[in-house]
A and B are shown apart, each in its own frame.
Chain A
């Protein structure tokens, strides 16, 4: 029996599926594909090249994500992969998938509002509580436990919660 060699496209798709399964070490319910951090997967001379983009310039999770991608690919038979960081176009919360937003909410983190903009950055934000859904919420701290989050509190159910900042 002869097994057909997978085509370049099939290889690329397999590598994409593997890389896209890597999760954010800070928010483990989100994959890097949900986040929009995974930008591109290519096969060059038999080696996988993955492009990722940082959420914030100083995001310390990038080194970890790079390592996790290389390990995941290695485990699935793609040794010697390369991960490079691209800055342009700059990451925005608009790239977060609908599925990602739902998973965030279920995890207890209020997702960024869609179609964020400079105005959203400066305007008055209305953030719904991920626990009870109430929009009667207030900001406790503009900076949270990681660079991408702020700390809010729900005035209805009194629960504090993380909010994934618009960016």
Chain B
């Protein structure tokens, strides 16, 4: 037996909060998949801790989305009772963990963005988004520092770690463009001062990424072709598999609680 998915009234602000909540939940879930499997105990703790930060951010954002939507949805319903096409996260964040290098590269490319994004969002005219940003920016900064150090260690490490890190960068690069995209509904929020224009963060992001990747003796791809679709619910095949695990309890035993 399966539970029906919920309907969501995606006003621009609800959609905006849900997109960021989905980013945090999906990346947090991916990181949690490492629990008990990381290459060493310290990294097991690091990945689980970063997952916990992201889960906390997701809960705040879902809670806020539920409040402004005002249709009786809540954080659990958003997480457990939406189908893959209703998810609005970046494609980058749903990509499988692969090996440790791939997980680290994914984390680094996103944290370099999230660090700038949340810091800029502290100036949002929306008090709740600004408050969430003020908490998230410190956590993102720590994630960036940690993943940057690993990029350097892997790239400037052994021949094998270098090869794996470079392979991950080459494979994931085409998913980075989506972080800086803006659609019509977000443009209005940017004009109103609620959201910031992510395109304005791109030069700074590229500099951070280039500096770390250069120090790691790795190179950035030159192709400018970028994937898109996550923000409007067109996902890679991986997200459905992830959700089938994340949602299995609620879908199998509707309304089950601890």
Contact = CB atoms under 8 A, between A and B. Distances in A.
Interface of A: 54, 56-60, 87-91, 118, 121-122, 140-145, 147, 151, 165, 167
Given A58-B59, A87-B132, 11 more contacts: A57-B53, A57-B60, A58-B54, A87-B131, A87-B134, A90-B131, A90-B134, A121-B138, A142-B142, A143-B48, A147-B52
Interface in B126-182: 127-128, 130-132, 134-136, 138-139, 141-142, 145-146
Given A121-B145, A147-B52, A147-B53, A56 B131 contact: no
A84 to B, nearest CB: 12
Contact of B56 (A58, A90, A141): A58
A57 B136 contact: yes
A57 B56 contact: yes
Nearest to B119: A118
A89 B56 contact: no
B107 interface: no
Nearest to A166: B138
Contacts of B49: 143, 147
A147 B41 CA distance: 15
Given A88-B130, A90-B135, A167-B138, A54 B45 contact: no
A59 to B, nearest CB: 7
A90 B42 contact: no
Indicate the size class of the contact surface on chain B. 20 to 34
Contact of A87 (B52, B55, B135): B135
Most buried by B among A54, A56, A121: A56
A129 B130 CA distance: 37
Give chain B's interface secondary structure class.
helix
A118 B134 CA distance: 12
Choose among B53, B135, B146 the residue with the greatest number of A CB atoms under 10 Å from its CB.
B135
A83 B10 CA distance: 30
Query: 3 tightest CB-CB pairs across the interface, nearest first?
Result: A58-B56, A57-B56, A88-B131
Nearest to A145: B45
Contacts of A151: 42
B135 A57 contact: yes
A90 B59 CA distance: 16
B127 to A, nearest CB: 7
A87 B146 contact: no
Nearest to B49: A143
Given A60-B52, A90-B131, A141 B136 contact: no
Contacts of A144: 45
Contacts of B138: 90, 121, 167
